[in-house]
Structure 1
Amino acid sequence: MTEVPSPQLRISDQERESALSALGEHMTAGRIDIDEFGERSAKITAAKTRGEVSELFADLPGPHPVFGPGEPAAAPSVAPVPPAAPMPPVPQPAADGSVAQPQQWSPAQRTLSALIPVAFIVAIVLIATGTAGWPVIFAPIGLTMVGRALWGRDFERQHDQRHRDRHELHRERRDAMRELRDEHRRNRRLGR
């Protein structure tokens, strides 16, 4: 029987880094938000014992920080929990409070999106064989313009908004990680 590491043991810089890394994975998975990540990471940085760090992961599934020679402090006899399958993206509320649902293509949109490449191929073949003159190329171009006029703007707006949201989230996470890194470096210089 292996001995359970005491929660009163002081943690090392490597164990603290393990805890910060595990916390970052929970934020990436969406289990905690950026504010909670900042609060918990500050507590990890200030923690002195394994018990203090383990308390911060009590309400989270794996991954947990690794202490000592590969033993988690909270429950060494329990097998680690395999990572959960990625969850589908959750629709986020819009500014007006409504929840944007992923838009499905209508049968007309699917039909038009299938016809456009076929129309281009047919037009090119007709022009190449000399069966029809070059103005036939305007048929697929016209189909494309009709489709864009009917449905293109909405999809572009949604795509642009999703892109801006992803970019903003990435920027927030990057800034939080930089702040955490800088705080950790300051604490190491001060000898904490």
Structure 2
Amino acid sequence: MTEVPSPQLRISDQNRESALSALGEHMSAGRIDIDEYGERSARITAAKTRGELVELFADLPAPHPRYEDAPQAVTAPEPAPTAQPVPRRPGTPDSWSGGQRFVAAFVPLVWIAVIALIATGVVHGTLILVPIGLSIFGRSMWGHAGHSHHDHRDRRERHLRDRDRRRELRDSFRDHRRGLDR
């Protein structure tokens, strides 16, 4: 038989973060507007018990805040995993050949030198074709191995995390500003 926790149980910061995340999803879905989000998020931040959070989500469908389960019996920690060598991905600097390393160091220097010479009028502008050609040659040495779908996924995940953080900061600023206006 599962015992339902009392609404008077104190909540943790993790519970509050879960509630704020769930509330953000409701705002994104259009169930609440930004003003209501601000009001409810302020109440979530001030909440002390589960009952206070439950009350804030009573008129909303899932998702609701998650609560950690009852404390589990303490078990012995698992042994730390042994360090596995990280496989070298193709296209990363530590897997480059000597020629690739040379081109990677040489091409930026050629770009700088050619731009400086063209800017000072020492040589004609068509010299810009030299670093362009070297760049194309260097790219052909690497191919597309350095731009795997994993890199794209990592960039997308980082972008989503950054976007969520910016939204949190924006909402926090708006809440703070509302508090000063009162």
Normalised by the length of structure 1, the TM-score is: 0.37
